[in-house]
């Protein structure tokens, strides 16, 4: 009789214990951190751009000046057709939304790169793009171009700063687009010739008076700069170089801004984004 009573009581109270147990399980699951999705685990949640006017999208469209919303790297301009790295990453992992800092500065040279890297490191970006060197080539004369070893030292110093950042960011380093190809494509365009003369843009390459020998000297210096970029990047496991893809690209006239025939247009920024994205994220 006593055993039957205890058994019946246990049967009656069992649902109550199961309910409490289930509640405890649910509370524990709710308090546990939500695991990252595959995209969140693979793709960065923040990024930064380092460089010069190419990453500032200077003169890209419609008005003179910097237009960073149209940048191939961190741009977020709606409907501009650029499809920047930031916009592509946003489609792959929404955690990056709003975390697209652009530390590039129009007119910057390689000597400015360590300061840009330090500024970016302060925000701890998980992905950094680097496109620098055109202004080290585009000077008033061959003699005033940046020496190769000075260029290399600045690039290496900047990459070292990024490599010491915690967490260590993924870094993409682009080659410098070909100045000679730019000149060659537009050399017979009267509007381009007029714009180059009026603005004094990149006289070491684009000056009407520059000889072929002088232009080839710029080419040799640019190839040395691009080699330095690749070699410096290769020292760091978190750094990826474009393998010279951007340098090898031959621009079309439509890739160049009609404001100065020197900086990329919106289409040119889109082309930059396409080429560099492939090398940064797809060419594995």
**pLDDT per residue as tens digits for the range 28-64:** 445 444 444 544 558 999 999 999 999 999 999 989 9
Angle separating helix axes 266-277 and 85-92, nearest 10 degrees: 50
Tokens of 29: 């699951």
Tokens of 174: 């682009």
Question: pTM (2 decimals)?
Answer: 0.85
In the sheet where 100-102 sits, what is the strand order?
100-102, 47-51, 127-131, 170-173, 239-241
d(CA 102, CA 264) in angstroms, rounded, equals 17
- Condensed to tens digits (0 to 9), the pLDDT of residues 179-213 reads 999 999 999 999 999 999 999 999 999 999 999 99
pLDDT, average across residues 155-165: 98
Do residues 174 and 276 make contact, with C-beta atoms less than 8 angstroms apart?
yes
- Condensed to tens digits (0 to 9), the pLDDT of residues 65-83 reads 999 999 999 999 999 999 9
């Amino acid at each position: 009789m006593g055993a039957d009573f205890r058994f019946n009581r246990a049967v009656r109270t069992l649902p109550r214990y199961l309910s409490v147990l289930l509640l405890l399980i649910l509370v524990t699951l709710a308090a546990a951190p939500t695991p990252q999705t595959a995209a969140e685990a693979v793709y960065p949640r923040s990024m930064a751009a380092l460089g010069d006017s190419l990453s500032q999208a200077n003169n890209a469209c419609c008005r003179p000046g910097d237009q960073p919303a149209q940048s191939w790297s961190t741009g977020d301009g709606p409907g501009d057709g650029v499809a920047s790295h930031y916009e592509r990453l946003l489609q792959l992992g929404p955690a990056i939304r709003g975390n697209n800092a652009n530390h590039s500065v129009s007119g910057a040279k390689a000597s400015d790169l360590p300061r840009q890297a330090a500024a970016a490191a302060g925000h701890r970006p998980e992905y950094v793009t680097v496109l620098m060197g055109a202004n080290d080539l585009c000077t008033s004369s061959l003699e005033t171009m940046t020496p190769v070893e000075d260029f290399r030292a600045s690039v290496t110093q900047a990459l070292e700063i990024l490599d010491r950042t915690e967490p260590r960011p993924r870094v993409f380093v682009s080659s410098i687009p070909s100045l000679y190809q730019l000149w060659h494509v537009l050399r017979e365009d009267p509007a381009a010739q007029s714009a180059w003369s009026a603005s004094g843009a990149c006289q070491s390459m684009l000056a009407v008076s520059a000889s072929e020998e002088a232009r080839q000297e710029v080419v040799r210096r640019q190839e040395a700069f691009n080699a330095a970029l690749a070699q410096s990047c290769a020292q760091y496991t978190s750094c990826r170089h474009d393998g010279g893809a951007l340098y090898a690209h031959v621009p079309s006239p439509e890739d160049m801004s009609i404001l100065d025939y020197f900086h990329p247009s919106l289409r040119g920024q889109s082309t930059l984004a396409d080429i560099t994205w492939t090398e940064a994220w797809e060419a594995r």
